[in-house]
Amino acid sequence: MILAMGICYGGAAQIIAGIMEWKKGNTFATTAFVSYGLFWLSLVALIVLPKIGWGAPSNDTAMAAYLAMWGLFTAVMFLGTLRLNRALQVVFATLTILFFMLAIGDFSDASPGFRQLTGYEGIFCGFSAIYAGLAQVLNELFGKTVLPLGPVTK
């Protein structure tokens, strides 16, 4: 189920959204959607490739490096959201924390309790992203602020 959602909604849907944003000239949204879409596909690939004999499984150090790189990318993208809105700031801040918590978890062979805490942090991050995405759809449709995003005054 997770792999299927990773390929389809996390992967393909975000890449499609990213190409749509590119056509509209939104560089930040293009970079974010295409990058996280391909992140999801890379995550599924690193899980599946060893199973179908294409490569060796990734050890903890490799996974920590992978997650830390995505954490670094997300941290810089978070700086971009400082010019956008509060909702996206929450999404990118909690996603940065999530990537580094996952990296630390793999690197230090963390306790089950720490991994569980990481999971709850990730659940919060995911729901915040659902809110930010659907709020934009509803606000545009109703032509007013139905779900507040907290835009930053430029």
Partner 1 sequence: MTTVLLNLHNAGFYELNSMILAMGICYGGAAQIIAGIMEWKKGNTFATTAFVSYGLFWLSLVALIVLPKIGWGAPSNDTAMAAYLAMWGLFTAVMFLGTLRLNRLASTNSIA
Q: How far is the CB of 130 from partner 1 (least distance, A)?
A: 7
Options 125, 141, 153, 154; binder of partner 1; rule CB under 8 A: 141
**Quick one: 16 or 69, whose CB is closer to partner 1?**
16
Q: How far is the CB of 108 from partner 1 (least distance, A)?
A: 26
CB neighbour list of residue 49: distance below 8 Å, 6 or more residues apart: 55
The residue among 65, 8, 3 whose CA lies nearest residue 37 is: 8
Query: Any idea what DSSP says for residue 84?
Result: S
The 48-67 contact track toward partner 1, x by CB under 8 A, reads x--xx---------------
41 binds partner 1, rule: CB under 8 A? no
Q: How far is the CB of 124 from partner 1 (least distance, A)?
A: 14
CA distance 149 to 145: 8
138 binds partner 1, rule: CB under 8 A? yes
* Beta partners for residue 85, in sequence order: 151
Q: How far is the CB of 15 from partner 1 (least distance, A)?
A: 11
Question: Is the Cβ–Cβ distance between 103 and 68 less than 8 Å?
Answer: yes
Among positions 102-121, residues that touch partner 1 (CB under 8 A) are: none
Stretch that binds partner 1, among 58-66, 91-99, 108-116, 138-146 (CB under 8 A): 138-146
CA distance 116 to 42: 23
Euclidean distance between the first and final Cα of the chain, in Å? 41
CA distance 133 to 135: 5
Binding site for partner 1 (CB under 8 A): 1-5, 7-9, 12-13, 16-17, 20, 47-48, 51-52, 130, 134, 136-138, 140-142, 146
